[in-house]
Chains A and B, each alone.
Chain A
Amino acid sequence: EAQVTQNPRYLITVTGKKLTVTCSQNMNHEYMSWYRQDPGLGLRQIYYSMNVEVTDKGDVPEGYKVSRKEKRNFPLILESPSPNQTSLYFCASSFTTSGGTTDTQYFGPGTRLTVL
């Protein structure tokens, strides 16, 4: 089954304690991205990756890091989480179009993060 998986699904942590949210896809997509979803703000992209070892900032990258060492995995790292990073996080993957943008994105189930 084609899917994007994320772990953990729920996480409660404290300010400053480093954490990693994993993301994996089995569709051989070259493009992967991370979003955060906050009430009234829709989805905002944090980082994206065009392929292995190629990453770039999205709209709200501050306080986050990513890496892409393998095509299927794209972990999100919060080195020193703060309460304003409490949010619902989604990983997504897709192919890209000949026009130079993303095609249909396939989303993971989400990770609800609370930073105390």
Chain B
Amino acid sequence: AQSVTQPDIHITVSEGASLELRCNYSYGATPYLFWYVQSPGQGLQLLLKYFSGDTLVQGFKGFEAEFKRSQSSFNLRKPSVHWSDAAEYFCAVGEGGSYIPTFGRGTSLIVHP
């Protein structure tokens, strides 16, 4: 069964600094990978996804993620963080033939002015 690890529970960055949120998955074939963002008091919203093709995918709000098969990773990056990016970020993986997607435990992003 697939699993997702987000090793960082909290990350604190200064506004304007770069950001990388880590995500590692455990799955044999090519997974379907997602990053979702949850703002306080709201549901999750898709940031970006990877199914196949170009391993560097772009999302909204200037986020991008790179699929690295050799490292089983799908890390989320942003070159310059804005205060409005403070939120909870979830990595998720889907497996062909399974309709039970697996979510990581989330990383809480704190942005200092």
Contact = CB atoms under 8 A, between A and B. Distances in A.
A108 B43 contact: yes
A100 B36 CA distance: 20
Interface stretch (B14-22, B63-71, B78-86, B96-104): B96-104
A75 interface: no
Interface of A: 4, 31, 35, 40-45, 48, 50, 56, 58-59, 90, 92, 96-97, 99-105, 107-110
19 contacts: A42-B104, A42-B106, A43-B44, A43-B103, A45-B101, A90-B43, A97-B51, A101-B32, A101-B95, A101-B96, A102-B94, A104-B49, A105-B34, A105-B36, A105-B101, A107-B43, A107-B44, A109-B43, A110-B41
Measured as residues with beta carbon below 8 angstroms from the partner, the interface class of chain B is 20 to 34
Nearest to A9: B41
B45 interface: yes
B97 A58 contact: no
Contact of B99 (A40, A50, A104): A50
Contacts of B42: 109-110
Interface of B: 9, 32, 34, 36, 41-46, 49, 51, 90, 94-101, 103-106
Contacts of B97: 100-101
Contacts of B96: 97, 99-101
A92 B100 CA distance: 12
B45 to A, nearest CB: 7
Contact of B44 (A48, A96, A105): A105
Given A90-B43, A90-B44, 9 more contacts: A42-B104, A43-B44, A97-B96, A101-B95, A101-B97, A101-B101, A105-B36, A105-B46, A109-B43
